[in-house]
Amino acid sequence: MNGVLLIDKPAGLTSHDVVNRIRRILEQRAVGHLGTLDPLATGVLPLVVGNLTRLAQFYTDSEKTYEGTIRFGFATDTYDAEGEPASEARPVSISLTELQQLAARFRGSIQQVPPPFSAKKIQGVPAYKLARKKKEVKLGPVEVEIKEFEITSVASELAEFHARVASGTYMRSVAHDLGALVGCGAHLAALRRTGLAEFTIADAHTLEKIEAAAAKGNCEALFVHPRKLLPTMPSMTVNDEVAALVRGGRAVNLPEFSRAKQVKVFYGQADLIAIANRVAGTLFHPKIVLAGPPVAQATGIRG
């Protein structure tokens, strides 16, 4: 079983919890995820299954979109609702217009300090492990890109927002820093990821739906069609002869793609067998092979 499965992650589970549950449902060990979500967060969590776990390398810098809620009045030590208050509660009085003006400061390339409770490493140790032991956590600022950040509504101490960010951006830090600008403190109260790369929440499935499908033996019907993966990369459908070469890790000539750097190689409509890199002219060499040669092809019976 090889493919990409989109999960609508519920709150309260870590991304690894979801991976473990899908491993049990599919009875398959080779399952990974693209882009960690905090336990508090919900939404799009793409999982790669079987041979397609090797596609993870193409999604390390994926853009993400979010919707969420920021609570003003006090900060927390985790920068979200799961942490302990890190400041005294203060009264909140701020308008939508004022917040929208402050939010504009976060758009573009900015310097951001990750939350103390994060996976960022300090001398090889994840920051959250040090923070849990009450050890001092000093994380330096890193450059991140926030392409969109809009406050869409305000009601009392709660503000709703929409964001589109580059990889490595912490919305918890955005909430915390915005609260510091307002002067009353703030933290992330809720977060829902609505998109990652080409994947959207509209195509995501609950764990319960996947479990029900697996019980009926048609779980693979819920996988993302391989033709929809990596849509900015051109694709090529090859014949038996070329497929055998690609599956064997051999370079092939693809004259239609003289300007492409990488190409998705398909055998038939839905069998993604490789991602190939252009090495010179129209000569492409498989960067990763996702499907080995069938026995018939390997013995020369076919193709």
In one-letter notation, the amino acid at residue 293 is P
* Known active-site residue 61: no
Do the bridges between strand 199-200 and strand 31-33 make them parallel or antiparallel, or are there none, so unpaired? unpaired
- The catalytic position among 38, 61, 80, 177 is 38
E strand segments, 64-179 = 64-72, 108-112, 121-122, 125-126, 142-155, 158-165
Give Cα 233 to chain centroid, integer Å.
18
Give Cα 240 to chain centroid, integer Å.
35
Nearest to 152 by CA among 70, 55, 64, 80: 70
Give Cα 180 to chain centroid, integer Å.
28
Q: Tokens 């490789």 belong to which residue?
A: 274
Distance CA 119, CA 121 (A): 6
Write phi, then psi, for 212 (nearest 5 degrees): -65, -40
Residue 22: CA count within 13 A, CB half-sphere: 34
Catalytic residues: 38
